[in-house]
Amino acid sequence: MNTFNESGVTNLKNELYGLPDEDLITEGKAMVAGFRDWLESKFDFTDGQMDYLDEIDPRVMTIWSAKLAAVAVARGPIELIFNFTPQTYRTKQTDIESGGSTTHIPSGPPVISESAVISFEDT
């Protein structure tokens, strides 16, 4: 289990990106099917972090899950920015910026490029 901080996210990303494509796709599907459950199965959260997760609108969680699953399945870069007091892990705002492209080529492998920047702010 990883701690939910920069090194924990990096550790998990490295574990996921080391998986065979088939297993990584399974993880991506699990993210989309139940992002909160998936997060809780991968990270140890503080009480404050759990309280914050409880406050996230389900629509936002659904959008985040789709965006981050796409980046993960593409093995794209994920940058995490923690701009809050480390002792509390409480945030007032979380932003996820993602983008990329996916091209299907019938006679060859797909061309996939995805990335995400996740920013946690308490100011």
User: Cβ neighbours of residue 27 under 8 Å, at least 6 residues apart?
Assistant: 16, 19, 38, 72, 73
CA distance 8 to 10: 5
Give the pTM: 0.74
pLDDT tens digit sequence for 27-76: 999 999 999 999 999 999 888 888 888 888 888 888 889 989 999 999 99
pLDDT at 41: 94
pLDDT at 46: 87
pLDDT tens digit sequence for 91-113: 567 777 777 776 767 787 767 77
The arithmetic mean of pLDDT across residues 4-14, rounded, is: 90
Per DSSP, the chain holds a count of helices (H) and strands (E) of: 5, 5
pLDDT at 27: 96
